[in-house]
Structure 1
Amino acid sequence: MNTATGEIHELWEIREEDDPRRSYAFGGRHGQFSFARIMAMLAKDSGITGDDFRVFFYCGIMTYEEGGATAKEAAEFLGLTPQATRRITKKLAEHKMLLVAEIIGRTIKYRASPHIISALSGRQQSEQAAAFHLPTLPGRSGSATKGRTNDTSRPVPRTHRPAGTDERTAAPETEHTDDVRDPGRPGARRRTHRG
C-alpha cells in the first residue's frame, strides 16, 4: 500500500520454471551454529578432544529435541564410559559451553550454550545468549584451567590449609624396638627376650 496515495499494489514473485523455490534438504529439524566458535573448538590448542566435541554436539542436539541430556544418556548413545562422560560434561560446563538445564537429585541435565548452537529464531537466540556468559576454551590463555575456578568464589580443591586447621591426629609415638605386638590379642604388647 502506498501511504501517500492510498493505492494498493500487488507484488508478484516471478519464478523461473527451471528454478522453483526449494526447501532445505537436511532431513528433519535443523539449526544454526557459530562458525567462529566451532572452529575455535576444533583448533589444536583449544583443549577440546574428539570425545569432548561429540559429547557437546550430542547435548546440543538434545537441547532442542528433549531440553538437554544427562551424562548417562550421552555415554549410552556415544559408547563412552559414564565416568568419562561425567568428567567431560563437567569440564564443558565449567567453561560455559554446556549449561545446567535441570538438576534432579544427583542427576544433572545439560544443554548447549546459545552462543554456540541454536535452533531458535534470531530474536529468541539473541535474548537467550544475552542471559549467559560467553564460553571459554580450556586450552586458551585467559580461560579457566585445571585447579582454578571460573569466576566463582568457591575454594580451589587441594589447596593447603592455614597452619592449625589440620584436623588429623598427631603421629603415634614410635614404639621401642623390643616391643612386639601380640597377634593373638590386638593392641596387647609382649616383651621379646634378648639372648
Structure 2
Amino acid sequence: EQPTEADIKKIRDYEISDDTSDTKFRHITDMTILTVQLIVEFSKRLPGFDTLLREDQITLLKACSSEVMMLRAARFYDAKTDCIVFGNTLPYTQTSYEFAGLGESSQILFRFCRNLCKMKVDNAEYALLSAIIIFSERPNLKELQKVEKLQEIYLDALRAYVCNQRFPRPGMVFAKLLNILTELRTLGNLNSEVCFSLKLKNKRLP
C-alpha cells in the first residue's frame, strides 16, 4: 500500500531545513498514523480477511500493526542513501529518528532494514510476508483455526513463489524469510513500546 497524494497532503508541511527535534517528532508521528491506516486498508483487501469474525479482525489488526510497520520500513529503505523513504519522498535517516527521540529503537530498525536489503526481498515477498504476519496466532482469537488455515495459504504461496523465483537455493531463502517473521515478533514488541511513547506525547495517535 502506497499513500496517495491526498494522504500526503494531510500531513503537515515539513521543511528539510527545519532540524528541530519537535518538528521531526511531529512529522514521524504523522507518518506513523498514515502507515497504520494503510495497513488496515491492505488487511481488509486480503482474500479471507472479510470471512473472519469482526472481533478477530480487530484483534489481528491491533496485534500486527507494529510488525507490519517495521516490515514496511524495510521495504522503503534505500541502501544508497541509508535512508527510509516514504511516500512523500522525504528521506528519514537513522539520525532523524534519533533526533526525534526514538533512540535505540532506530538503530535496531535500520539494522533490520539493511539485512532485508541484502537479502533482496522483493515486493511480492513483502506482500506475502505482511499477509502471513496479519494472519498470525494472537491471544484472544475466537476462531484460531480459521486464522491458521488462512495463514497456511499465504505460507504456501510464499513457498511456491520462492521456489519459482529464487535460484539456485530457494530452500535457504525460504528459511531466511521465515526467520524474518520470528525477528519481527521481537521488533514489533519494541515498536509497540515506541508507539506507546509517541502516543503519550501526541494524543492523535490511534
Q: Provide TM-score, normalisation by structure 2.
A: 0.27
More strand by share: 1
Q: TM-score, normalised by structure 1?
A: 0.28
Larger Rg: 1
